[in-house]
Structure 1
């Protein structure tokens, strides 16, 4: 990696500040007086704000936040530290893993497709495992299998907004032919003394058990919350969430209204990680957008002995090549939470471990220098999809017989939208590429918002599927984020020999059910309080697992968060 030259000014050289000193000083004085603008002069503007030990206010860390109710906190800590408790909660996770609550892309409506019935077993298992919880909460159902547990607080929601914790009951299917590749059968919930194995161990049944366990512990401690606590469990997060995620959100919105929730916690994609030789708790405060683009090419068919120069498969191939040859540009901007993460690395990681080339460009990014933003993204190529819209051609279809000229060909392209972009910008980019190819071949063209008759020949049509704008970025300078940060500092530990755990904003490249909850609060945080390794503990693939020693402490984290959020209620 080539580093830019450090262009520090020679202290003996003359500068415009010397030549025009009186004018500049007068102008600066006026600005300070009129607008109260703090102006700092730096001999090295590319480095000073991000030097180690600087008092710049960048990536501030809150102190550990311990609940005021020491008796309840001590009760929960003693429980979570006991071997008997470990055995019980591990058995609970193993038990729910044994229910193969798989969700499929082709599921029919709830009540019509019998494959949904597995979720009655999940509900029954949770009720049987947590009788104390269900004796103290109100249970509501959203579209049959969406579960909403409400533990009412003593203060009305209009005065103390509720805290909402999300999880999902469904898991990604395991193909029959892949079962043999698992170390232990995927639905055995096997515990080998260190690791709990099975589909859903990390995504997301471990999270589900942990948050309901936290409420169970608080109830058994005798605690009575001031702030209402809501647990909501979707049934189809892995297949878009329309059947449970959206109905749950609609239910809560009717109950509490827009901006009626204090904060939302949901699963995260990174958790605790070690980067730049420093331990970070990575709290995702936003998600990338989502769009599937469909492209259909139609023409006349015929016998393969008399083909045109370019049939629909050839034209579609030309379109795919054009798309892959014109990827979206990437840039690091202050809007992206990953910029905040880089700032945290520059300030808190060991100087020798954080790339100087990155440190030198951070000021340019902060000053909205477009070239600097693009250069920084380029230098972070291994992280590029945090900063640019990704595109992946996932499906392609065309032709039914080798000696027949195909009449139609189609493709589906999956995109994850950068936080700075929009669906409209993506559509415009794709239309500009494909329209040129349609003109080249003398074909009609229908863009994303134009009508398209599938029977019409010699035409290229484009359409969008499952469109989702990038998520709003949750504020990190507000009370809920500070409470979450203080809780993390209090309960969780750094990795290895690090002396501190740095809490940092982060970006979720995938989507969770939180996409339905934007109207309920600005404070949405996606964070799993464990060290996620090997591609999220191999979630979505063979040998999914979670470490028992980390899993058993998750309820302490969530219970402490509930207590700390209660302490700020007047």
Structure 2
């Protein structure tokens, strides 16, 4: 998640709209595939269906949905709104922030690398603060530090699929040199009466505490679920999720099977934002793909006094320049959930606030007009990476001594794949650009699936790391999305009280632990139920924070979602 939501300037200008521009964090860590258009019937001609106040069904909104068990709902609401509860939950978040559960790119195996031991402290802290929960749920461990809490419902999972809520215990490390730049120490959990400061406040310990709180409140209310409720907390979301998220997913898949989960909720998206003078609850229904590309060059070395015209560092530089000069094209298509957001904005935002240049392209884009799709991407250039594959050269190495001709040079490039593309298409693009450079310099070229096995001295070799296709797009016409949307509209408020809160599909440009759970359900939704500002509350950077007024109400939303999902069992 990554975005700047504080820029609120002239909405009449497309540039100032900026969509929070390059919004991607790297929480936000943001993938995607095919958006289901059935939920948003598109007008075949004219612009009428894209104007505010329409009755056409474009971005049709679910009605507010309140739990049928009003006694339990009122118990939860009364507790959440009490001053004592506010103090208690703020203290709980502050306390867990004080545990520096950092995950590192170079961390070793669980049980061998002692840096994992901090997660024992996290588990002990949760158990100490939620004794009623742990007296009620069944606790399973996945690879030691992955935690699965199961509150069994009265109806078997085969008849009423469980609801699954995800969060992660780990945080991005804070560099020692940067601690001095924090307003309050990153692991102090300081509360100033308005804001809770610290690493993990937003990403993702606030969400984790809110999830447990929602179950704790429901248990204390006397609620007995029909539908099983599962909470799962990973330990390494910030470093790919292989150590905890994957084992958690495997365990749950063994237990519930393909499509065995009713709904998955996880952190993500933009939360609640105001765009085009309209409040939106932005629910990410997909994520972009992911690929790290490695490029290795080898050649003969020698003394620097007799260099070749182009050594491996020079050739690698030529490759990097060629890649950056030939970026992936941008294109807005109806396959992208962001097109659904544009439809929602066109249909529900004040007409004067939604740029005509965007509105005029929507019908043609929906009909597959390639020219219009490219033109709309150009208009939306400030948010280009929601509509195109991004590439960023992140590491480069070459040479060991100034007077020696380098024998090797290498680079690693990070890519986030657009909804409409695939890993194989990215590989083909890179091979088509780099192969001619290899031929130009009389070097052997080895593509992505060559294993780099050639014994040739002069060669260029490509390989991929952590390849991940764009995520399947979760349906917005499913019962589970209607339940989620109805809960959002019932519990959460627009940023301006004189407007309606519009629920819209959105795209996560980074990746979450949900990438391991695709087989468990099609209904995967990433949504943080607060107004996220200033680069997603400065997650992953200095002075991460969360507003207390919004945080303390998260458990009410999550408890209401559980109750509403329980109400539809058997319908």
TM-score interval, normalised by the smaller of the two chains: over 0.9
Residues 439-450 of structure 1: matches in 2 within 5 Å?
A: 439-450=439-450
Shift of 1:269: 2.9
Shift of 1:47: 1.8
Q: Which residue of 2 aligns with 1:105?
A: 105
Q: Which residue of 1 aligns with 2:168?
A: 168
Q: Which residue of 2 aligns with 1:338?
A: 338
Q: Which residue of 2 aligns with 1:392?
A: 392
Q: Which residue of 1 aligns with 2:457?
A: 457
Contact map agreement 1:67 1:564 (CA 8 A) in 2: yes
Question: For 1:196, what is the secondary structure of its paired residue?
Answer: strand
Alpha-carbon distance in 2 for matches of 1:105, 1:568? 43
Contact map agreement 2:293 2:462 (CA 8 A) in 1: yes
Q: 1:412 and 1:309, CA in 2 relative to 1: closer, same or farther beyond 3 A?
A: same
Residues 177-326 of structure 1: matches in 2 within 5 Å?
A: 177-326=177-326
Question: For 1:535, what is the secondary structure of its paired residue?
Answer: helix
Shift of 1:56: 1.9
Q: Which residue of 1 aligns with 2:27?
A: none
Q: Which residue of 1 aligns with 2:403?
A: 403
Question: For 1:506, what is the secondary structure of its paired residue?
Answer: strand
Alpha-carbon distance in 1 for matches of 2:73, 2:562? 11
Q: Which residue of 1 aligns with 2:31?
A: none
1:244-274 per-position Cα deviation (integer Å, ceiling 9, x unaligned): 0000000000000010000000001310000
Matched, 1:418 2:414: no
Q: Which residue of 1 aligns with 2:561?
A: 561
Q: Which residue of 2 aligns with 1:364?
A: 364
Contact map agreement 2:278 2:349 (CA 8 A) in 1: yes
Shift of 1:544: 0.2
Alpha-carbon distance in 2 for matches of 1:329, 1:247? 37
Contact map agreement 2:293 2:464 (CA 8 A) in 1: yes
Q: Which residue of 2 aligns with 1:154?
A: 154
RMSD across aligned C-alpha pairs, in angstroms? 1.5
Contact map agreement 2:162 2:229 (CA 8 A) in 1: yes
Shift of 1:63: 1.2
Residues 464-479 of structure 1: matches in 2 within 5 Å?
A: 464-479=464-479
Shift of 1:55: 2.4
Alpha-carbon distance in 1 for matches of 2:93, 2:514? 23
Alpha-carbon distance in 1 for matches of 2:341, 2:106? 38
Contact map agreement 1:279 1:498 (CA 8 A) in 2: no
Question: For 1:135, what is the secondary structure of its paired residue?
Answer: helix
Q: Which residue of 2 aligns with 1:12?
A: none
Unpaired runs of 5+ residues, structure 1, are 4-38
Q: Which residue of 1 aligns with 2:539?
A: 539
Residues 42-57 of structure 1: matches in 2 within 5 Å?
A: 45-57=45-57
Contact map agreement 1:46 1:364 (CA 8 A) in 2: no
Alpha-carbon distance in 2 for matches of 1:41, 1:91? 51
Q: Which residue of 1 aligns with 2:95?
A: 95
Alpha-carbon distance in 2 for matches of 1:439, 1:219? 68
Task: With the length of structure 1 as denominator, give the TM-score of the two structures.
Answer: 0.92
Residues 73-152 of structure 1: matches in 2 within 5 Å?
A: 73-152=73-152
Alpha-carbon distance in 1 for matches of 2:51, 2:91? 49
Contact map agreement 1:46 1:362 (CA 8 A) in 2: no
Q: 1:271 and 1:299, CA in 2 relative to 1: closer, same or farther beyond 3 A?
A: same
Alpha-carbon distance in 1 for matches of 2:393, 2:499? 44
Q: Which residue of 1 aligns with 2:347?
A: 347
Contact map agreement 2:51 2:348 (CA 8 A) in 1: no
Alpha-carbon distance in 2 for matches of 1:183, 1:193? 15
Contact map agreement 2:269 2:506 (CA 8 A) in 1: no
Question: For 2:186, what is the secondary structure of its paired residue?
Answer: coil
Q: Which residue of 2 aligns with 1:20?
A: none
Q: Which residue of 1 aligns with 2:34?
A: none
Question: For 2:364, what is the secondary structure of its paired residue?
Answer: helix
1:272-307 per-position Cα deviation (integer Å, ceiling 9, x unaligned): 000111000000000000000000011000011100
Unpaired runs of 5+ residues, structure 2, are 1-11, 15-40
Question: For 1:510, what is the secondary structure of its paired residue?
Answer: coil
Shift of 1:496: 2.7
Shift of 1:41: 9.8
Q: 1:535 and 1:281, CA in 2 relative to 1: closer, same or farther beyond 3 A?
A: same
Alpha-carbon distance in 1 for matches of 2:478, 2:267? 21
Question: For 1:264, what is the secondary structure of its paired residue?
Answer: strand
